[in-house]
Structure 1
Amino acid sequence: MKKELREEFWHAFEKSPFIMLRLEDNGGHAEPMTAQLDKEAIHTIWFFTSKDNRIAVGGRAMGQFSAKGHDVFACLAGTLVEETDQARIDKHWSKEVEAWFPEGRNDPNLKMLRYEIDDAEVWTVELGLFGTFKMLTGQEVKSSELGQHATGLV
């Protein structure tokens, strides 16, 4: 079950690579970030940000994900560290990123962060027609009817 749930999460994340991310020790609110995904790096996500962004200092971080269809949810714990590998920056560079950094890859305010995930919790929602009817009519929906949940998916 864990492997299937992990694959379902990454598939949903690939379709909508946006995550709310916050530093654990900073006390600030989470903010939306666009993840740069790599199919070969299962426990790592990259982000382009500016050096003055509140998460740019790095450290322990928590991220929350909700799939586009609201059928997959995840909470990811890990550590944000600066990515200095120019090949990695080049690999993930795109027109969308360039829109935020008009001076390109050499923008003095550009910083890439690597999110090294060490723990995750994932939920899926699979109500189906009968479960949706029960919910809409105020009937009890049992947890066994909701979907799957797993921890430690890294």
Structure 2
Amino acid sequence: MTTSTDQNQHIEKLRGLIQDIGCGMLTSVDEDGSLHSRPMDKTSEIESDGTLWFFTNASTHKVFEIEHRQQVNVSFTSSDKQRYVSISGIAELVRDRNKMQELWKPKLKAWFPQGLDESDLALLKIKINRADYWDSQLKFQQQTINL
């Protein structure tokens, strides 16, 4: 059983592992059961409840996939530091304007030229339930965190 203190420590550990990695590979499940991955710019740090956020267009195929199968994986790699993190969780589409304003960063205009005025703009909310990581400082021993 994970206590609140344990969960806070796990989230802090995950934050530290991915804090200097800006982009993750989001993998979702297509309708035929195949896996589909694409790069996603990390919008924020992991929140205290174990949530990770990404901006997206709501009409993309990944959103279609997530609406049918919410289980996703996000992997982060820092090859120069030999650190690898695989996060599993449940994804959902969120259209909360206040949350978008809170999380918006000017660099996102590269993907969303109209900024927060993009008509199709939404957020992917990923509630983390497990993370596996390998870190060169740990001699590549696999570690698992359950939230």
TM-score by length of 2: 0.76
Change (3 A) 1:40 1:113: closer
Q: Say yes or no: does 1:105 pair with 2:116.
A: yes
Higher Cα radius of gyration? 1
User: For structure 1, which segment, 93-102 or 63-72, has the greater mean C-alpha deviation from structure 2 after superposition?
Assistant: 63-72
Structure 1, unmatched stretches of 5+, are 127-144
Q: Matched residue pairs, number? A: 135
SS at match of 2:80: coil
Deviations 1:17-44 (A, max 9, x none): 2111111354243111011124543511
Structure 2, unmatched stretches of 5+, are 1-6
Q: State the percentage of identical aligned residues.
A: 21
Cα distance in 1 between the residues matched to 2:79 and 2:49 = 20
Considering only aligned residues, what root-mean-square deviation do their CA atoms show, in Å?
Answer: 2.5
2:22 matched to which residue of 1?
Answer: 17
In the TM superposition, structure 1's runs of 4+ consecutive aligned residues that sit over 6 Å from their partners are: 2-5
TM-score by length of 1: 0.73
1:53 matched to which residue of 2?
Answer: 60
Deviations 1:129-149 (A, max 9, x none): xxxxxxxxxxxxxxxx72442
Change (3 A) 1:112 1:3: closer
Cα distance in 1 between the residues matched to 2:61 and 2:110 = 20
